[in-house]
Amino acid sequence: MNTTQTQMRREVLEIPVAVNNLLQRGGDDIRRAADAMRARNPSFMVSVARGSSDHVATYLKYVSELLTGTPIASIGPSIASIYNRKLNLDGSICLSVSQSGKSPDIVEMARMARDGGALSIAMTNNPDSPLAQVADHTLNLHAGTEISVAATKTFVNSAVAGIWLLAEWAEDDALRAAIHDLPSKLEKAVEIDWPEARASLGSRNSIFCLGRGPAYAISNEAALKFKETCQIHAESYSSAEVLHGPVSIVDLGFPVIALASADEAETALASVADEIAAKGATVFATSKKVRNATELAVARTGHPLTDPITLIASFYAMVEQVAASRGINPDAPRHLKKVTETV
């Protein structure tokens, strides 16, 4: 373990406590929102988010579709903020995700969705934010103050709040139990930092991150974090897409991280990881099913839909150390600031 305590490192280690805080304090708001969703009985939902928050929305899209059969479509905020168009969202639910709740385009899109007939549910770490003001229900993330520019505990708490909302809506006891057991699983996950994957990066400045299903959302988040904290060019692909062209740039030693949950997609993802490893890439996977690729340790959660949450916690522990090893301060990435407000 890296003993240098960056702010990002401290916040990664705070993830189990932050999630426990959400579980202890957020239940009433989540159950009220879930009751409203049940009363609405939507045939579809929409999401509004950017950056890491949009990766949370992708995760919730898969969870909703797998758990309830209800599709979630992502709407570009520019439809409302730049193009000033109206959408017919009558009878739907709009899930907006923003850690700060301040970006004007997210707020305007959430406002338009509500005006268009959607039940508006906002997930934010700032319950007094402009986003909260345009929502029918606000879910406080209860993540505490996050100082590092790179979102970590707010990302995790957003994912937990969202999947908890869906579990309550679906009244799924097995998923509820897995969610409430997450703090203990996350305590293990933040201590797993994949030294073998870190070592394989060396001076490489390009990497593929792979996922499938809910873990694809985590792959997206991993690629973003490589870029913003390590200045490494990272691309995220579904394992079903990477062989359709992108694999052509793989050469000897090209690093790949495949993030797999213990679900129906694991076998397919492991097979692709092995196929890319056979082409000479250095491939790591969070799966016992790989043969050519190298298995990474993982803290499983006992439920396939919550596995991605511990995967990203371990990834955060790893990527912070990659940044430090390259002499980069992950707390203050160049060209970036904590709150990005776009129109």
Q: What pLDDT does 295 receive?
A: 98
Q: What pLDDT does 24 receive?
A: 98
Taking only the tens of pLDDT, the chain with its 343 residues reads: 445 589 999 999 999 999 999 999 999 999 999 999 999 999 999 999 999 999 999 999 999 999 999 999 999 999 999 999 999 999 999 999 999 999 999 999 999 999 999 999 999 999 999 999 999 999 999 999 988 878 999 999 999 999 999 999 999 999 999 999 999 999 999 999 999 999 988 888 899 999 999 999 999 999 999 999 999 999 998 998 877 766 657 778 899 999 999 999 999 999 999 999 999 999 999 999 999 999 999 999 999 999 999 999 999 999 999 999 999 987 776 554 545 556 6
CATH topology of domain 7-171: Rossmann fold (3.40.50)
Q: Where do the domains of the chain lie?
A: 7-171, 190-326
Q: What pLDDT does 203 receive?
A: 82
Q: What pLDDT does 251 receive?
A: 79
Q: Note whether 7-171 and 190-326 share their fold.
A: yes
Q: What pLDDT does 329 receive?
A: 87
Q: What pLDDT does 173 receive?
A: 98
- Rounded to the nearest angstrom, the gap between the alpha carbon of residue 343 and the centroid of all alpha carbons in its chain is 23
Q: What pLDDT does 332 receive?
A: 73
Q: What pLDDT does 311 receive?
A: 98
Report the CATH number of the 190-326 domain.
3.40.50.10490
pTM comes to 0.95
Q: What pLDDT does 338 receive?
A: 45
